Structure 1
Amino acid sequence: MILRKKVRVRQHVNPLGSKYQTPASPLDWEKVYAKPNQPLHLDIGCAKGQFLLNMANIEPNWNFLGLEIREPLVMDANKLRYELGLTNLHYLFCNVNNSLPLLSSLPPGSLQRVTIQFPDPWFKNRHAKRRVVQPELVAELANYLAVGSIVFLQSDMEFVAVEMRDRFAENPAFEKMGIGEWLSENPLPVPTEREIYTQSKGEPVYRALFVRREVSNEG
């Protein structure tokens, strides 16, 4: 029996730290996925990757890419993915706020779904720039997402959900879907671990869905 040494993983990682200022290297999509031309689902802040693992199992006609700033989690997730033989799933250690250009080499129209779920709230106002959903991130995603693709956001912290929702709503490339302030249900077939935990306590989850629309000055 082989015992794995348990590595302590920090819950909070400052994306503005010098360690995280080097953008991720471009990926060779032909090597990453068995079928690189399948539509891509990007999960930003994938943590241990369990959500994407389940999604990749039930949607083999999609490719899945998880981005996570805590490297030990990425290493463990990719190891498990390899052991399970999933060829439509990959995890990447990076700071998403400076690494989205790696998507520029994707086959045209590939990126069709983005999820940002329960990101680190960074409660203090002076740490607001550490939150993942900044206007610059929204603008970059608009550049890479195919028209008609979706962005799904959720958090158990209302102020975080409001901030994420408002930043996508402020960008003319995105249109909020659904009636009312929040979605009552998750439109995806798989919940995250945090979502299950939050709902088991009877606490609310704040969800919003956006579609990438065509704007008049494109093309």
Structure 2
Amino acid sequence: MARVRVRQHVNPLSQKYRTPIACPDWSMIYADGGRPLHLDIGCARGKFLLNLAQAQTDWNFLGVEIREPLVLEANEQVVHLGRNNVHFLFGNINIAPLLFLQALAPNLRRVSIQFPDPWFKQRHSKRRVMQPELVVALAQVLPLGGQVFIQSDVLAMAEAMGARLAEQPCFQRTHHDPWLAENPFSVPTEREIACAKLGRPVYRLLFEKSDSIT
């Protein structure tokens, strides 16, 4: 399969990406819709989830990506591998995030946001994936014990995401060290592999929902 070439950056505030994500009939997607669900936001080409879906067959996996050609490519890989526990959706997670996440309940158990576009300029901060509405929605929808994993090779980005999650009292870090030394899952992302080859540090945090929303 030819590797699709796409733009590295897209503006999530443009009109093209203002439509809420449409959920399919999950019974047509997953062989067992009752399995716990791992949502990867900004999944790019989906290699992380495709590998994890093969390693953890008792889980379902869903990737959301704003660049549609990558979603089409990833779903072609799902068919090629014959997997029935992983799927990919095109869309902007920050358009009606609560409505979308509620459509994943009650099976949603883990959420990962890995190496998001940092949008370094302050005037572009509204383009970042970790927006307040998304964090509030995660706090409302995830069950007790639900986890949010974040990582970035940009220290300021990791710190900003961690601070935003920590604003929600129900989310607590699962570790005392400032950063996790390793990815808690069994497979790395493509960016992690590239950073390791370059000797570039990666900043990781794992939060768990430890209290109910009142």
> Does TM, scored on the shorter chain, surpass 0.5?
yes
Residue 26 of structure 1, CA deviation: 2.7
Work out which of the residue numbers 32, 43, 54 in structure 1 matches 2:51. 54
CA distance 1:117–1:16, change in 2 (3 Å): same
2:25 maps to 1:28: yes
Q: What residue in structure 2 maps to residue 167 of structure 1?
A: 164
Mapped partners of 1:193, 1:8: distance in 2? 16
**TM-score of the pair, normalised by structure 2:** 0.95
Unaligned runs of 5+ in 1: none
Mapped partners of 1:180, 1:56: distance in 2? 29
Alignment: residue pair count? 213
Q: What residue in structure 2 maps to residue 104 of structure 1?
A: 102
Unaligned runs of 5+ in 2: none
Mapped partners of 2:60, 2:87: distance in 1? 8
CA distance 1:21–1:180, change in 2 (3 Å): same
Mapped partners of 1:20, 1:121: distance in 2? 18
Work out which of the residue numbers 197, 200, 204 in structure 2 matches 1:203. 200
Residue 7 of structure 1, CA deviation: 4.7
Q: What residue in structure 2 maps to residue 74 of structure 1?
A: 71
Residue 141 of structure 1, CA deviation: 1.0
Secondary structure of the structure 1 residue equivalent to 2:101 = helix
Mapped partners of 1:76, 1:211: distance in 2? 32
**TM-score of the pair, normalised by structure 1:** 0.93
Q: Deviations over 1:33-78 (max 9, x none)?
A: 1101100000000000000000000101000000000000000100
Residue 102 of structure 1, CA deviation: 2.6
Question: Do 2:144 and 2:212's aligned partners in 1 also have CA atoms closer than 8 Å?
Answer: no
Q: Which deviates more, 24-33 or 199-208?
A: 24-33
